[in-house]
Structure formats: structure tokens, C-alpha cells
């Protein structure tokens, strides 16, 4: 009798184990729990469905990303590629049709507020060693304590100089160390009746970026973002002394030459450098296909800096005790990776995110991209498997050089322009203000005051009320 009871008990245990195994085996490995109304055929179709990516960028880059992702797993990648103009008019209903967004960060906060984005699980962030990311390399899109997006690299600016360029006497020219030296060189060139030796492209929103770069160098320290926004209340400071000074500097430097600089592109400046027509140009760090065309013979140096700074605490100007301070503006043209909450391909979506943030990937190495983005030093051990097919060691060494330049505590700082909703609108407004001053001779203070009010209205329209908490260092 006792044996019969034990047999009955073990039979029940065995049946329960079989049932448990059967349930576990029948559950799709990639798809979160779904409604019981779905048939086996529907579940299988969902398992085989591609991961849907919405990407703001170049088709060539998207194709390279597709090849890399599909070569590392059994999931297909279906990519919709749009440009910045299309992104600005994309409705939320369209976003809901995708699983992953690789887009400008300007709409991160509204999408979080609307419950559109999936929070990145802590175990994934730990796996990706996010706590060891350098702030210049990887930014976390954080709202309060939750992470909803991860930036895909950081655009940087540098002075690209031709080391063999000589002045009229045959002497090699030195790269300007400060904005004052940059401006003095322009004045000397005009008095000598020759083209400017040191220039930058002011095409499109680059005029606004040029002003931001100058204003940032007038901050008290490289960790100080309040040259752009007041701490606490988050009010923009476009009408503050650093911006007025930066606008006056641009006007004095480029005033008589604005017509040419408004149309010359970065690619054209590189050709002028190679031909020895100019000494140097301030521009985003060169693309790898530029490196293959001879940029590697040019010299990279940090942007000019300022020997003076403005302290917002006591509202005074002071001289720096040690050398000029250089700042590199970043975050203006980056991309953020977000996973949509409605996705049923979340595991594949996280694998795509891991691919993008844990290797040089296509954005760093693919051609036809406006800017390269910087990879972490610990990624360089594996760079050959990514770059070996198409790029030379010389090209990847150039990126290594740029990384070292950007992280040099003495030469380079990195000031992150807040990636707020409506940034493209802000840049357009600031670009318009710059051209009102350079072309129409409008008073810099008046132009910046008008832009200040426009930025405040953009902030009210886009929200959220506490924007400076969105993209903070981990």
C-alpha cells in the first residue's frame, strides 16, 4: 500500500516535469508572452518576422549595418531610411510600426512621456559595462533613474592643418592657439590682400555650431554646461556676455568673407588644404574615405581656445591662470538607439543595440557618412575584423589619433550641448541670428535677444520641463 502511494506520488511529479518542459519548449525564445488567441502558425510567422529599424541616416550606412547584423544572428533586419527633414515630420503612428529607432535624440523625452519606449533592463546595461563608458564616447538617454536610449557615438570638431603650408616669406605658419590669434590672422590676410588662411564652413547649421563652439570656450571650465543653459531653471543664455562676445568675434573674423564661407563645404575645404591653398580649416573630424584620399597627410589639432572666461556666479570676466581652454562641441548631430515598447522582437532589438555600442560598426567605419564617430579604446583589439575588408591600418590609426586628441586632459575638453527636443529648430533659429549679424549688420545683442526668446518658445512647445536631466553622465 505504501509502495502504491509512492508510485502515485512520483507519477504526479513526473507528469508535472513533463508538462513544465513542454511549456518551456513551446514558448518562443525571442518573443515576449503573447495572447492565447494566436495560433501556432501566427507565432511561427512572428518568430520569423524581421526586426524593423527606422534609421535617420545614409542608405549606404544602413545597408552596411544590415549586413553586419544579419551575419551575427538568425534574425533579418528590415530598415526604413529617412533624412532629417522626413524625421521632423514623422508621426508617432509611423514610429509604432518599428521595433528600434536609430534617430536624432530630440524626441527621446516626449516618446518616454507617451510610454512609447522600452526601458533598458539593468542586466543588459551591466553586460554592456555602461558604467565604464567615457562620457565623450557614449551617452545614456536617462529620464530620472531609467535608461530609455543610448547614444551612438559623438561628433567632434578639430582643426585640420596642412603642415607644408608656408606664408609669403617661405616660413611655415603656426596653428592659431586661441580665437584671438585666429581673428588676427584673418585681419592680416585682409590687409595683405590674400585669401583667408584659416577658415571654417558655415554651410547650413554649421554657422550656429561655430558660434556654440566659441561660446563654450568662454565657459569657466570644461565640465560647465551653464554657458548654454542656467542651472536649475534651464533657461537658455543666448543673450549672455559669452554669446555676445562670441558673435562679435565671428563678425570681426569673417565679416568681409561671409559670401564665400556660406557656400563652401567641408569636402571643398579638404581639397583646398591638399592643394596648399589654405593653411587649415575647422571642421568635423574627417571621414575614413577622406583619410583614404590623403587626409592622413594633414595634421589634427584641437579647436582654438580662450585665455579668458566668464563666471556666471559673480558675472565677471577673468583671465585663465594656465593657457587657453579649448572645447569641442558634441551631441549636435548624434544618434540615439531606442527600443519601442510595442516590439515583440525585444531580444533581437537588444542584440542590435549591443552591436551598435560594443564595436566600431558601420557608423565608425562606413564611407559616405558626414562624420565618423569615436569608439572606445578597448574596442581597438577587434577593429581589424571590421575594417580589414575595406580600410587600411592608416585609416583606423587616424581614428585612434582623434580619440586620443579628444580625450587629452590638457589639449581637449568636451562640452555636451543638451540633446533637447526641438534642437533642430534651435539650430535653425541660431543660424538665422548669425546671418542677421554677419550679412545684415544687425546688432549682435539684439539678434541674440530675439533668438533667446525663440529658444524659450521652442522649449515651451517641446518640453519636458526639466530638460537637463535627460542626457547625463552615468
Compute CA distances 108 → 327, 340, 419, whole Å: 26, 11, 9
- Give residue 229's Cα distance to chain centre: 19
Compute CA distances 342 → 101, 112, 141, 309, 350, whole Å: 12, 13, 19, 48, 14
Range 93-101 average pLDDT: 93
Range 75-100 average pLDDT: 90
30 pLDDT more than 60: no
Range 7-26 average pLDDT: 40
33 pLDDT more than 70: no
Q: Where is mean pLDDT largest: 68-72, 103-107, 206-210?
A: 206-210
> What per-residue confidence (pLDDT) applies to 248?
96
Residue 152 confidence class, pLDDT cut points 50, 70, 90: confident
Three-state DSSP at 169 gives coil
> What per-residue confidence (pLDDT) applies to 365?
43
Q: Where is mean pLDDT largest: 38-52, 221-235, 434-448?
A: 434-448
Sheet holding 336-339, edge to edge: 77-82, 51-56, 100-103, 336-339, 146-151, 140-143, 471-472
Residue 138 confidence class, pLDDT cut points 50, 70, 90: low
Q: How far is Cα 332 from Cα 334, in angstroms, rounded to an integer?
A: 6
Which has more confidence, 32 or 235?
235
Cβ-Cβ contacts under 8 Å for 330 (sequence gap 6 or more): 136, 154, 155, 156, 414, 415, 416, 417
Nearest to 163 by CA among 294, 306, 324: 294
> What per-residue confidence (pLDDT) applies to 366?
41
Range 394-423 average pLDDT: 62
Whole-angstrom distance between the N-terminal and C-terminal Cα of the chain?
A: 65
CB count within 10 Å of CB 221 equals 12
Nearest to 52 by CA among 29, 34, 75, 72: 75
What residue has cell string 558634441? 330
> What per-residue confidence (pLDDT) applies to 210?
92
313-343 pLDDT, tens digit each:
899 999 998 888 887 776 666 678 999 987 7
Cβ atoms 283, 201 nearer than 8 A: yes
Which has more confidence, 382 or 252?
252
> What per-residue confidence (pLDDT) applies to 7?
47
Q: Where is mean pLDDT largest: 66-70, 166-170, 469-473?
A: 66-70
Which has more confidence, 363 or 334?
334
- The sign one gets for the Cα dihedral 80, 365, 377, 416 is negative
User: How do beta strands 414-416 and 328-330 pair?
Assistant: parallel
User: How do beta strands 308-311 and 305-306 pair?
Assistant: unpaired
> What per-residue confidence (pLDDT) applies to 32?
43
User: How do beta strands 336-339 and 100-103 pair?
Assistant: antiparallel
Q: How far is Cα 259 from Cα 204, in angstroms, rounded to an integer?
A: 13
Q: How far is Cα 366 from Cα 357, in angstroms, rounded to an integer?
A: 15
> What per-residue confidence (pLDDT) applies to 14?
37
248-288 pLDDT, tens digit each:
999 999 988 888 888 888 888 888 988 889 999 998 766 54
Nearest to 274 by CA among 296, 301, 254: 296
Cβ atoms 99, 339 nearer than 8 A: yes
Residue 396 confidence class, pLDDT cut points 50, 70, 90: low
Which has more confidence, 27 or 314?
314
* DSSP per position, 449-460: HHHHHHHHHHHH
Compute CA distances 404 → 136, 301, 369, 379, whole Å: 11, 11, 21, 14
Range 129-146 average pLDDT: 68
Q: How far is Cα 461 from Cα 468, in angstroms, rounded to an integer?
A: 16
Residue 407 confidence class, pLDDT cut points 50, 70, 90: low
150 pLDDT more than 70: yes
Nearest to 355 by CA among 377, 381, 386: 386
> What per-residue confidence (pLDDT) applies to 473?
37
Cβ atoms 287, 372 nearer than 8 A: yes
**What does DSSP assign to residue 340?**
B
Cβ atoms 330, 156 nearer than 8 A: yes
19 pLDDT more than 70: no
Residue 55 confidence class, pLDDT cut points 50, 70, 90: very high
Residue 398 confidence class, pLDDT cut points 50, 70, 90: low
Q: What is the largest CA-CA distance in the chain?
A: 114
413 pLDDT more than 60: yes
CB count within 10 Å of CB 156 equals 24
246 pLDDT more than 90: yes
* Mean of per-residue pLDDT scores for the chain: 76
CB count within 10 Å of CB 384 equals 12
> What per-residue confidence (pLDDT) applies to 451?
97
Amino acid at each position: 500500500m505504501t509502495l502504491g502511494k509512492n508510485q502515485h506520488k512520483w507519477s504526479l511529479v513526473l507528469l508535472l516535469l513533463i508538462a513544465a518542459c513542454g511549456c518551456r519548449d513551446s514558448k518562443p525564445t525571442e518573443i515576449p508572452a503573447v495572447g492565447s488567441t494566436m495560433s501556432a502558425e501566427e507565432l511561427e510567422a512572428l518568430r520569423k518576422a524581421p526586426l524593423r529599424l527606422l534609421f535617420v541616416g545614409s542608405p549606404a550606412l544602413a545597408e552596411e549595418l544590415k549586413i553586419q547584423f544579419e551575419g551575427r544572428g538568425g534574425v533579418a533586419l528590415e530598415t526604413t531610411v529617412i533624412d532629417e527633414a522626413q524625421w521632423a515630420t514623422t508621426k508617432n503612428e509611423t514610429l509604432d510600426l518599428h521595433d528600434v529607432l536609430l534617430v536624432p535624440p530630440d524626441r527621446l523625452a516626449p516618446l518616454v512621456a507617451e510610454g512609447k519606449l522600452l526601458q533598458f533592463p539593468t542586466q543588459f546595461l551591466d553586460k554592456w559595462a555602461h558604467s565604464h563608458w567615457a562620457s565623450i564616447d557614449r551617452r545614456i538617454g536617462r529620464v530620472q533613474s531609467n535608461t530609455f536610449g543610448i547614444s551612438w557615438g559623438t561628433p567632434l570638431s578639430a582643426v585640420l592643418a596642412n603642415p607644408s603650408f608656408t606664408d609669403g616669406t617661405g616660413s611655415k605658419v603656426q596653428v592659431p592657439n586661441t580665437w584671438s590669434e585666429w581673428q588676427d590672422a584673418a585681419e592680416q590676410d585682409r590687409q595683405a590682400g590674400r585669401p583667408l588662411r584659416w577658415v571654417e564652413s558655415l554651410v547650413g547649421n554649421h554657422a550656429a555650431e561655430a558660434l556654440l563652439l566659441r561660446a563654450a570656450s568662454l565657459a569657466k571650465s570644461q565640465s560647465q554646461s551653464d554657458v548654454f543653459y542656467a542651472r536649475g531653471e534651464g533657461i537658455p543664455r543666448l543673450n549672455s556676455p559669452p554669446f555676445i562676445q562670441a558673435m562679435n568675434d565671428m563678425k570681426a573674423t569673417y565679416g568681409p568673407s561671409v559670401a564665400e564661407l556660406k557656400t563652401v563645404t567641408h569636402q571643398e575645404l579638404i581639397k583646398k588644404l591638399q592643394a596648399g591653398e589654405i593653411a587649415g580649416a575647422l571642421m568635423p573630424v574627417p571621414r575614413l574615405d577622406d583619410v583614404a584620399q590623403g587626409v592622413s597627410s594633414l595634421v589634427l589639432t584641437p579647436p582654438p581656445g580662450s585665455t579668458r572666461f566668464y563666471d556666471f556666479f559673480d558675472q565677471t570676466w577673468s583671465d585663465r591662470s594656465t593657457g587657453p581652454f579649448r572645447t569641442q562641441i558634441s551631441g549636435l548631430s548624434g544618434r540615439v538607439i531606442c527600443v519601442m515598447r510595442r516590439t515583440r522582437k525585444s531580444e533581437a532589438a537588444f542584440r542590435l543595440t549591443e552591436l551598435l555600442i560594443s564595436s566600431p560598426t558601420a557608423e565608425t567605419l562606413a564611407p559616405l557618412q558626414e562624420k565618423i564617430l569615436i569608439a572606445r579604446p578597448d574596442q581597438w583589439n577587434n577593429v581589424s575584423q571590421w575594417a580589414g575588408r575595406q580600410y587600411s591600418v592608416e585609416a583606423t590609426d587616424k581614428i585612434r589619433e582623434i580619440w586620443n586628441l579628444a580625450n587629452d586632459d590638457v589639449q581637449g575638453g568636451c562640452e555636451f550641448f543638451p540633446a533637447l527636443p526641438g534642437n533642430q529648430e534651435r539650430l535653425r533659429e541660431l543660424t538665422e541670428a548669425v546671418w542677421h549679424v554677419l550679412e545684415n549688420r544687425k546688432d549682435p545683442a539684439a539678434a541674440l535677444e530675439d533668438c533667446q526668446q525663440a529658444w524659450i518658445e521652442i522649449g515651451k512647445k517641446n518640453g519636458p520641463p526639466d530638460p537637463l536631466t535627460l542626457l547625463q553622465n552615468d
